[in-house]
Chain A
Amino acid sequence: MKNRTSEQVLDELARELTGQDFNLSSGLMAQIRKEEHKKMKRKSLMITAVAVVLGITVLLSVPNAAQAVKRLFGYLPGTGFVEQGVPLRILEQPVKVDIEESKIILSQAVTDSENLRLFYQVENIPYSDTLNEDNEAYCHALPWVRTADGQRLNAKTVTANFWGSGYYRQLEFSALPADQHSATLVLPCIEGALKAGSPADIEVPMLLVDAPEGMTVYPIVELPTPTAKPVEQQETNLAGQISLTVQKYIQTDDRLILLGAVQSANPDVRLSLVEISDVLLLDASGKPAALAEDYTLEDPESGERTAQNLPLTYVVAGAYQPGEASLIIDGVWVERSSDASFTFDPGANPQPGQTWTLNKELQLGSHLVTIKDAVLTPDGMGFSFSLENGKDISNVALTDLEHAVLGGGGGGDGTGFNYRDALPSGPITISVSFYSERIKGPWQAQVELPATNATPLPDSCLTQATWQEALLKSSRALPTTDGSLMVLAGANAPDYFYRLYLADLESSTAKDLLLSDGGSLSPDQKTLVAATDEGMKFYDLTTGAVTPISGSDRRDREPIWSPDGSTIAYTRGPATGLIGAAGPHEVWLMDADGTNQRALVSDNQGNFAQAWTPDSKTLLYTSRIADGALLISIDPKTGEANLLTQFNYQNAGVAVSPDGKQMAYEAMLPGEKYGVYVSDLDGGNARLIANADPIVVTGPQWSPDGQWLAVTVYDASINENSSSLALVNLATCEITPMLDLHGHVVSWR
C-alpha cells in the first residue's frame, strides 16, 4: 500500500537539494529588460482599483444602420458586461480594512441577477513575506462571500494583477439574492502572505444599494448582418477557410469597442493570435483610426476561445470619420502540424559539440525553412538545430519521431531534444512536430461607425514620415554642446543589463561608465550619482572611483541632482525591490554628499521624483492615480505641495526646460500610442512633439540651451533589439537621428 506518491518522494528530495529560498524574479526580469527594450512597452504594472462613476441612463440613440441587440447585456465602464433591464445593486462606498501593515480595499461590487462582481486590492504585503520562502508556505486561497442568510458563494472567475508588494483582483460570484443588500467578503488569509501568522478569515463587510438614477450602462449594439468578407481567397486555401466577423459594438463617452471574432473552418489548425500590427480600421474617409486591443473584455455571447474561434475585442479611441468603415486584418497566426522531415547521418563516430552543416530546406506550407546546422549536445545524446525562416513562420519545433526523446520546450532557432536511451546509429530522420504560421489575408469586415465627439490630434514634429525622411538625410544638425555632458542609460549587448554611458554627440560614441539604470550629473560635471542594485553610488568622472552611498539600497532609483548642487532627490520603491513593483513609492532627499537622507513625500501612493526647477527651490514629482498621474510641485524645505496638472499615463516622465518655463513629458495618445508633449508647467499651451506610431518615442530630455529635445526612438524596422536617440529642434522641428547612441538620456547638463 502506498504511503506517499512517487512525486511526493522526489519532491521531498528536491526540497532538500534546493532549500527554500526561491526568487528568480530579479535576475529574470533583468534578462527580460532586454526583451522589453525591444518594444518599449512601458505599460503600467499597477491597476489601482478603478472607481466606477455611475449613473443609469441606458442610451437610446442608436445609429440607423444598426439595431439594439436583445438588450440582454450592457457595458458598465470599469466593470464589464452587466445585464440590462434588471435592477443593479452596487457598493454603497469603498471599504478599507487594515491588517497590521497590509491594507485591503474593496473598491466596488456590482450585482445583477446573474453575477456579483467584486473589485478589491491588497497593498503592502510585508517584505519578509514576499521573498525567500517556500511557495507552498504562502496563502493561495481565494476569498469567498458570505451572504446575509449565511450562504457561502465561491468565486467563479478571476482576474488579477500582482505587482510584488500588492495585488488587485476581480472576482465573480453567483448573484446575491434580490432581497439582500449586505454580504461579507471573507479572505481565508492574505494571498501572497505567509500562511503562518496570517490572521484567518479576514472579514470585509459590504453594503449594497440600488444603482442610482443616472448610472450609465451602455448598450451593446448589434450590426445588422454578419459582415464576414474574405477577400478573393480560394476556399481550398487556409486563408479562404478563415473568416472575420464584427458582430457588435459599444459606444461609451470616450471610446468605441468593437466585438468580433476570427473563425476557422479548418479543423487541422489552431488559431493562435492576431497581432495588433496586422489590424487596421479605415474610417469612412479611408483614414486609419487609432485602435488598441482590450483583452479584459470578452463578449459574453461570442463563445470561448477554441482552436477554431478566436474572439477579438478592439477599442477605437480618438477621432474618426463616422459612417461605413472597414476593419481589415492582414494576418492571422495559426499553429499547425507538419509531416515535413529530413534525414542526416551523423556518421560512425559523432563527437559531442560536433557541428554538421545541413542547409536542409523544408517546405512548410508555402514557406521554406532552412535547417542550417545541427550540433551534438555535450554528452552526445541530443541535438540542437539552428534554422532560418521567413518572417511569416515561427516556432518551428523539431523532433525525432522514431526514437524516444526527452524535453523539448518549443520551437524556434535553437530547438532541439535529447534522446532518452542512446544516440541512434546511422542516418536519423528529423521531423517538424509543429510550427506557427502567419496566414496572410486580408480579411475585411464592414462596420458602421457612429458619430464621435473626439477631436483629431494636431500635427507633431516627429512622426513616422518625418523620422523616415530624417533617416535619409546626409547632413545632420546638432545642438551647441559647449562643454555639456550627456549621460545615457542603455541596455546593450552582450548581457543587456542597464549601464550608464557618457555620450559624445559629435562622434556618436558612448563611453561605458558603470552598471546602473538611472543617474544624474552634479552641476560641476565631476560626479555622477547612480542607482544600482546595491543602492546608490557616487561615480567620479575623473578617476572612475565608485563610492557606495551608506544607507541606500536597491529600492532607491532615479536620483536627480539639484541645479545648485546641494541636494539629490530620488525615488524609494517598495520593500520588495522588485522591478516595476507598483506598491508605495516615496520621494526622498539627501545632501550632495549622500548624508541626511530623509523622506519628502511618504504615503501609500506611487510617487516618483521627476525634475528640479532651475532655482532648485521646487521639485516636481508625479503621483499615480487610477487613470494616469498627478504632477505636483513641492517645496523641499517646507513640504508645501501644489497640484500642477494631470497626465493620462501612469509612468509619464517629465523634464523641465532650462529656463524653468516649460516641461516635456510622455503621454498616452488615443489607442495606447506613445506621444511626447511640451507645455507650460501647469499643462497649459500643450504642443504635441512626437506622435510616430508604430515607432515608439519616449524619454524626453532638454538640451542645456533649451533649443532641442533628446528623445528615445524605438523603430523595429531599424533594430528590433535596441532603441536609438533622436534630437528634435523645437523651433524648426528638424530631426537628427543618432542611431549609434542607444538608450535614454538621464542627465544632460
Chain B
Amino acid sequence: METRMNETQAIQRLKNGEVGAMEELVQQYQSKAIRTACLITRDEELARDAAQEAFLRVYQRIRHFDESRPFEPYLLRSVVNTAINMAEKQRKKVPLHESGDPELVEALISKAASTEDQVVYRQLKQQILEGLSQLPPRERAVIVERYYLGLSEKEMAGMHEVAPGTVKWLLNSARNRLRILMRLEDDQS
C-alpha cells in the first residue's frame, strides 16, 4: 500500500507514549486538515489554529481511539467542529453580511466540476468562493463535509448517528438541490 507511513503503527506508538509519532500524523494530514478548516473559516490563520486544536484533541484522546478504524474521518470531524466554533467566535467580533444560499453554492460546485471551459471554470470558482463567504460557518461546514470530505448524506447521517426517522431534512435538501441545479441548467442554456 503506497501510504507515506503506516498510520496504525503511528497511532499505536502514540498510545505508547512516542510523541514523535504525532509528527507523522501531522505531516500526513495537516494539509487536508488546514484546507478543510480554511473552507469553513475563510481565514488561513484561524484555519491553522483550528487544525492545530483538532490535532491536540486527538492527541489528548488517542488512547481511546481504536486504530482498526480509519483515522482521517475521525480527525476531520474534529477539524470541522473546531473550525465552525472558531469561525463563529470570529464572526462575533467582525459581523459579516451573510445572505448566501447554500444550495446555490452546491449547484455552483456541481457546475464547476462539469465544465470544460477553463474561463467558465475560473469564474465559477470565484462565484463559489463568494458564495461560501456569504454563508455562515456551519453552512460552509455542510458543503465541506459533503463535497470536500466526500461524505454522502447517508454517511453524514450515519456519522452523526442520526436516527432513521429524522432523514426528512436530507430528502428535502436533496430535492431542493435538484431544483436549484435544474434552474442553473436553464440559466446556462
Q: Are A17 and B38 in contact (CB under 8 A)?
A: yes
The 28 listed contacts between A and B (C-beta, < 8 Å) are A6-B109, A6-B110, A7-B149, A9-B128, A12-B125, A24-B52, A25-B30, A27-B52, A45-B18, A46-B20, A134-B31, A135-B28, A159-B6, A160-B10, A161-B18, A162-B23, A163-B20, A293-B16, A295-B16, A401-B163, A404-B162, A406-B80, A406-B145, A407-B77, A408-B77, A409-B75, A409-B77, A580-B19
Q: Are A22 and B34 in contact (CB under 8 A)?
A: yes
What chain A residues lie within 8 Å of B115 (beta carbons)?
3
B69-100 at interface with A (beta carbon < 8 Å): 74-75, 77-85, 88-89, 91-92
A264 to B77, CA, bound (A): 29
Q: Are B56 and A162 in contact (CB under 8 A)?
A: no
- Which of A32-40, A175-183, A611-619, A662-670 participates in binding chain B? A32-40
Q: Are B166 and A409 in contact (CB under 8 A)?
A: no
What chain A residues lie within 8 Å of B15 (beta carbons)?
273, 295
List chain A positions with a Cβ less than 8 A from chain B.
1-19, 22-25, 27-29, 31-32, 35-36, 39, 41, 43, 45-46, 134-136, 138, 140-142, 155, 157-164, 191-192, 270, 272-273, 275, 293, 295, 304-307, 333, 335, 352, 377-379, 381-382, 384, 394-395, 399, 401-412, 416-421, 433, 436, 578, 580, 582
What total of A-B pairs shows CB separation below 8 Å?
A: 277
Q: Are B160 and A408 in contact (CB under 8 A)?
A: yes
8 Å CB contact of B91 from A8, A379, A382: A379
A304 to B59, CA, bound (A): 24
What chain A residues lie within 8 Å of B22 (beta carbons)?
28-29, 32
Known: A9-B112, A401-B162. A578 touches B23 (CB 8 A): yes
Q: Are A31 and B52 in contact (CB under 8 A)?
A: yes
What chain B residues lie within 8 Å of A420 (beta carbons)?
138, 142, 169
Known: A11-B148, A13-B125, A404-B166. A160 touches B6 (CB 8 A): yes
Q: Which residue of A lies closest to B148 (CB)?
A: A10
Q: Are B84 and A295 in contact (CB under 8 A)?
A: no
Q: Are B88 and A379 in contact (CB under 8 A)?
A: yes
Distance (Å) between the CB of B49 and the closest chain A CB?
A: 9
Q: Are B114 and A3 in contact (CB under 8 A)?
A: yes
Distance (Å) between the CB of A333 and the closest chain B CB?
A: 7
A418 to B85, CA, bound (A): 8
8 Å CB contact of B88 from A13, A270, A305, A377: A377
Task: Tell me what chain B mostly uses at the interface: helix, strand, loop, or mixed.
Answer: helix
What chain A residues lie within 8 Å of B67 (beta carbons)?
305
Distance (Å) between the CB of A65 and the closest chain B CB?
A: 31
Q: Which residue of A lies closest to B136 (CB)?
A: A379
- Interface residue B2 (Cβ < 8 Å from any Cβ of A): yes
What chain B residues lie within 8 Å of A1 (beta carbons)?
114
A135 to B32, CA, bound (A): 9
Known: A3-B114, A6-B113, A159-B9. A382 touches B85 (CB 8 A): yes
Max count, chain A CB within 10 A of own CB: residue among B10, B31, B57, B170:
B31
Distance (Å) between the CB of A254 and the closest chain B CB?
A: 20
8 Å CB contact of B66 from A270, A394, A399, A418: A270
8 Å CB contact of B57 from A142, A306, A399, A409: A409
B1-42 at interface with A (beta carbon < 8 Å): 1-6, 9-10, 12-13, 15-24, 26-28, 30-31, 33-36, 38-39, 42
- Interface residue B44 (Cβ < 8 Å from any Cβ of A): yes
Q: Are A3 and B116 in contact (CB under 8 A)?
A: yes
Distance (Å) between the CB of A261 and the closest chain B CB?
A: 14
A270 to B38, CA, bound (A): 34
What chain B residues lie within 8 Å of A295 (beta carbons)?
12-13, 15-16
Q: Are A378 and B5 in contact (CB under 8 A)?
A: no
8 Å CB contact of A9 from B125, B160, B170: B125
Q: Are B128 and A160 in contact (CB under 8 A)?
A: no
* Binary contact track B115-150/A, C-beta < 8 Å → 1, others 0: 110000000010011000000111001111101111
8 Å CB contact of A24 from B30, B83, B112, B145: B30
Known: A9-B112, A418-B138. A407 touches B81 (CB 8 A): yes
Q: Which residue of A lies closest to B168 (CB)?
A: A404
Q: Which 3 A-B pairs have the closest CB atoms?
A: A409-B78, A407-B81, A14-B35
Q: Which residue of A lies closest to B22 (CB)?
A: A32
What chain B residues lie within 8 Å of A39 (beta carbons)?
17
Q: Are B77 and A135 in contact (CB under 8 A)?
A: no
A164 to B153, CA, bound (A): 38
A109 to B80, CA, bound (A): 44
Distance (Å) between the CB of B11 and the closest chain A CB?
A: 10
A22 to B163, CA, bound (A): 38
Q: Which residue of B lies closest to A159 (CB)?
A: B9
A140 to B5, CA, bound (A): 8
A259 to B40, CA, bound (A): 47
Known: A10-B144, A140-B3. A333 touches B169 (CB 8 A): no
8 Å CB contact of B82 from A35, A36, A138, A409: A409
Q: Are B91 and A45 in contact (CB under 8 A)?
A: no
- Interface residue B161 (Cβ < 8 Å from any Cβ of A): yes
Q: Which residue of B lies closest to A33 (CB)?
A: B19
Sample of 11 further A-B pairs with CB below 8 A, known A3-B114, A7-B148? A24-B33, A32-B56, A45-B19, A158-B5, A335-B66, A352-B88, A379-B137, A382-B85, A404-B156, A410-B61, A410-B74
Q: Which residue of A lies closest to B161 (CB)?
A: A433
Q: Which residue of A lies closest to B129 (CB)?
A: A13
Q: Are B141 and A418 in contact (CB under 8 A)?
A: yes
- Interface residue B63 (Cβ < 8 Å from any Cβ of A): yes
